[in-house]
Each structure stands twice: as C-alpha cells, then as structure tokens.
Amino acid sequence: YIANPQDGGAAYSEGIGYGMLLAVANADRGTLDALWQFYGANTDGNGLMHWRIAGCGSASGQGSAADGDLDVAMALVQASCRWAGSYADQDRALLGQIMAREVASYAGVQVLKPGANFNDITCVNPSYFAPGFFRVFAKFTGNATWDKLANDTYITLGRLAHSATGLVPNWGHLDGKSPQGECARPEATLYGYDAARTPWRLAADYLWWGSEPAKAHLTKIVTWVKGRGIESIGDKYNTDGSLKDRST
C-alpha cells in the first residue's frame, strides 16, 4: 500500500488511487494489482474502501472518500484498455457502488458527496469533483447519469467559486451556509491543500473533452495566478485571492 510517513505509515484511499493511476500509466501491472488487492481487502462491506487504514491494521477512518474511489475507478478503466482481463467487470461493479452511495440529487442537480457516510448532501469537497472522469464513466458503463453529473458539476462550482478568481473553498455548502456539521473542517473556507487539487481535475475535462465550462473556470484561476506571478504563489488563500493572514 501507499504509506503516509507523516501519519505513522497509515494508508489512505486517495493514496491507493494515485498509486494505481501511476502504476497503469507506467505499465506496472504488478503494483496496480497489489494496490487494488489492498483496496478490496479494506472495504466497508459495500465495495468502497475505508478512507484511512492504520497501516496493516483495521480501519481507523470509517467510511469512504469519493476522490480515492474515483481515482481507483479511472485506473481500472485504463487497466482494462491496456491489459483487458477482468478489470472492466470489476470496475463496473465499483462504479455502481460509487453511483449508488456517493452521488445524490440536490435541487435537481446531481452532486458528488464527499463519501458514502455523509448525510448532509449540501456539504461538498470541490476538489473531489472530476467531470472529465465522469464523462469517461458514462461511456464505460452506458449510464447517462454520469454525463449529467459532469455537466452539473459546473452548476455546483458556480455556487461555491469566487466570481472573479474562480477559487473554491476546501469544503462548502451548496445552500450557502457557513461550514457546519460534517462540513465544519479546519480551514474549510480557504483555498488550501484540498481545494488546490480542483484545477487539475477540471483541466482533465478540458484536455480530454474540450469542455468549455472547464476552460471558463480555469481561465479565471490562470488570470488570477498571472496577476500575482507564479513565483510568488503561496499555499493558502481566501477565495477572493487574498493571502491567508498567518497571524490568526
């Protein structure tokens, strides 16, 4: 498994996802299979991995994390293209669980939940949104709901992103409430270590599918970055583009 040395060697589902994507990209089938086996050995009973595993021990972070699940699913799509085998059938089963347990509808909009155990469907993590992946999954499974989720992602981003900078918070509520309940995370309102992943997930949608909404959103972020100078970009900002006050 992929160990996190900053957390006592614990494993995270997102680390498994990143590792599997790298493995298939580098034609390393052995590593991909080993990581996929670890994922499957640490599920919640419904086919989705617990988000944190204490090394080789039991789940210490109960419930799934959608970003890791989506990356694993994408790696399996690519593995099925590269090596055939049973990857496609296994992936369709995984994607069925993701759709059933991590996708919900809010005010007519399809929304990706942060994980299967989240009860407040207004609470989201924008850095988990992967519309480029969703379009792949629609073709892979024949389920058009994935396409709607991809398109509706930009409606959700429009509710969360700053209108000028395009920056999104680490965590946010679709109904505009201040972070609370399941969304009350440290630095939830900042564009920080979680939110910083959002641009590359949207970039995949533009590069793979020519998505104009992705281009429009990314153009705002690129314009903001160019205005500050890439060499001076820090790690934590308010969504209006102002640097986080380190004295607080």
Q: Which residues are catalytic?
A: 14, 67
Residue type, 53: I
Residue type, 210: G
In total, the chain counts a number of residues equal to: 248
Question: DSSP of 75-101, one letter per residue?
Answer: HHHHHHHHH-TTHHHHHHHHHHHHHHH
Task: Report d(CA 54, CA 80) in Å as an integer.
Answer: 30
CB 148 within 8 A of CB 105: no
* Residue (of 36, 14, 13) closest to 24 by Cα position: 36
39 CB-near residues (< 8 Å, 6+ apart): 13, 16, 20, 49, 72
* Residue (of 41, 181, 49) closest to 115 by Cα position: 49
Tokens representing 90? 């296994």
Task: Report d(CA 94, CA 163) in Å as an integer.
Answer: 35
Q: How many CA atoms lie within 13 A of 167 on its CB side?
A: 23
Tokens representing 104? 């919900």
